[in-house]
A and B are shown apart, each in its own frame.
Chain A
Amino acid sequence: MISSPVIDCIAVNKSYKQNHVLRDLDLSIPPGSVVGLLGKNAAGKTTLLKAILGLIRPNSGSITTLDHDAWNLPPDAKARLGYVPQLITLYPWMKVRHMIDYTASFYPRWDRPLIDRLLHEWELPENATIGPLSSGQLQKLAILLAIGHHPDLLILDEPAAALDPVARRAFLATLLDIVSDSTDAPHTILFSTHITADLERVADRVAILKDGQVVYHDSLDTLKDHVKRLRITANAPLPTPLNLPHTLSEEISGPNARITLRNLTPELLARLASDLHATIEVEDLNLDEIFLEFHHA
């Protein structure tokens, strides 16, 4: 059985005046996946997430979220969503406990034991007033408010940005618990980040957003298996450019070259070694390096 995607964006465009933020963007996310959305500042991450949630309306294209048009999500679909915005605005005069009770009152299946446990584990003072909370505490609270109803689709915009390393680990462990919790329907998580190390632990898929388009979307393993840097040492000067398929970056100097390919196959490697009479060293790249390679001029 092929299950329909949880999120399906087709040819989405969004402009703010002259600023074309999303350009014919396509993105389809299968249920049960944990997707890390990577992009530089101003790549369009927040705009995309908000459009998926139906908080802003694209100029053209279609977005289907949980089988409904994102802009016209019915209440029962909205009840299956969880969202942690980048800019957290909560009632500053409320106490942490009251804010949680208030949010819980909107959801029939609020998991009070879970939230109580996390309040304790994350060291959030439940009798504190929200106004003076630190940005890290505020972010923790916003995450709790977004997961208490076990949303089928959880969307987080830079969820770990304000968290210290200890809190980030605790938060990642919670995300993994949510994913492992296979008792009900598979939970899908989409989060934007520029902390690639977090993404490498929890995400099974990566979407790289660049200039308003998804330039890469596949499993993290596939990305790491395919994107490789070659260090070529030949006996004679190498031709410039080498024009290899799917080149992300290329530096050639005499008989030496440093080339990053988007899709290195064993066949290509064998062919290169014999064609160029060269020794070729293949270097694995981590996500940070791969991200940089996708952003070469």
Chain B
Amino acid sequence: MDSALLISVSPTSGVPIYRQLIDQVRSLIASKRLQPGEFLPSVRTLAQRLQVNPMTVSKAYSLLQRDGLVELAPGQGMRILPPSPVKIPLNQRRQALLPLLRQVAATAYQLNLTQQQVMDLLAPLLENFDRDSEANPG
């Protein structure tokens, strides 16, 4: 599978392109559409395919590498790593999620949704990823 086809960006979004790339690679790995051992497209290939600045792509790749999702295999490119045991403390991971949840809460309030209705929406989304997190609890 040509992994470049799985990735797309919207340059006019308010989210910087490098973060769009990181988010997509993360979710491709989480949903197993990118498997450990597979390679990300080369910086040049992806930049040309998406028509974005190659520096943006290489910035995203180096951040993915820093976060331990991929490794640089010399001469071959960026290889997807197997999910590593989580090293970040639970409290920090909670803090990272909190701003997003605040937005969810605020939007739910504006839409006049009850707690239960929000939970009902969230639960199946979490279940989608559940198989992947079983291997690395807290």
Is A201 touching B53 in the complex (CB atoms < 8 A)? yes
> Would you call B68 an interface residue if the criterion is a C-beta within 8 Å of the partner chain's C-beta atoms?
no
A203 and B14 within 8 A (CB): no
A224→B53 contact, CB < 8 A: no
Stretch from A11-19, A237-245, A279-287 at the B interface? A279-287
Q: Which of A176, A202, A285 contacts B14 (CB 8 A)?
A: A285
A172, A200, A266: the one contacting B17 at CB < 8 Å is A200
Nearest CB of chain B from residue A250's CB, rounded to whole Å: 19
B55 CB within 8 Å of chain A: yes
- Tally of B interface residues using CB under 8 Å: 26
Q: Is the CB of A233 within 8 A of B14?
A: no
Secondary structure of the B side of the interface? helix
Contacts of A128 in B (CB 8 A): none
B91 on the A face (CB < 8 A): no
Q: Which of A233, A266, A283 contacts B99 (CB 8 A)?
A: A266
Given A273-B102, A282-B99, A204:B14 Cβ within 8 A: no
Q: Does B47 contact A (CB under 8 A)?
A: yes
A287, B12: Cβ atoms under 8 Å?
Answer: yes
Chain B contacts for A287, CB-based, 8 A = 12
A269 touching B54 by the CB < 8 A rule?
A: no
B residues within 8 A CB of A201? 11, 51-53
A280-B51 contact in complex given A200-B11, A200-B12, A221-B16, C-beta closer than 8 Å: no
A77 at the interface (CB under 8 A from B): no
Shortest CB-to-CB span from A241 to chain B, Å, is 22
Which B-chain residue is minimally distant from A232 (CB atoms)?
B106
B52 touches A202 (CB 8 A): yes
| 8 Å CB contact of A224 from B15, B52, B107 | B15
Which of chain B's residues have a CB closer than 8 A to the CB of A283?
Answer: 14
A residues less than 8 Å from B13 (CB atoms): 284, 286
Cα–Cα distance between A231 and B55 once the two chains are bound (Å) = 33
Cβ contact within 8 Å between B109 and A221: no
- Whether, in the assembled complex, A169 has its beta carbon less than 8 Å from a beta carbon of chain B, the answer is yes
Q: How close is B53's CB to chain A, nearest CB, in angstroms?
A: 5
Interface pair A176/B51, CB less than 8 Å apart: yes
Which of B13, B14, B51 is most buried by chain A, counting CB atoms within 10 A of its CB? B14
B51 near A203 with CB under 8 A, answer no
Task: Say if the beta carbon of A60 comes within 8 Å of chain B.
Answer: no
Q: Which residues of A contact B48 (CB under 8 A)?
A: 173, 176, 180
**Interface bits A214-231 vs B (CB < 8 Å: 1, else 0):** 000000110011000001
B16 near A203: Cβ-Cβ < 8 Å: no
Question: What residues on B are CB-neighbors of A269 within 8 Å?
Answer: 99
Extra pairs beyond A224-B14, A225-B19 (14, CB < 8 Å): A169-B51, A173-B51, A176-B48, A179-B54, A179-B55, A180-B47, A204-B53, A204-B55, A221-B18, A266-B99, A279-B106, A281-B103, A281-B107, A286-B13
10 contacts between A and B (CB under 8 A): A176-B48, A179-B55, A196-B12, A200-B17, A202-B53, A221-B16, A279-B105, A283-B14, A284-B13, A288-B12
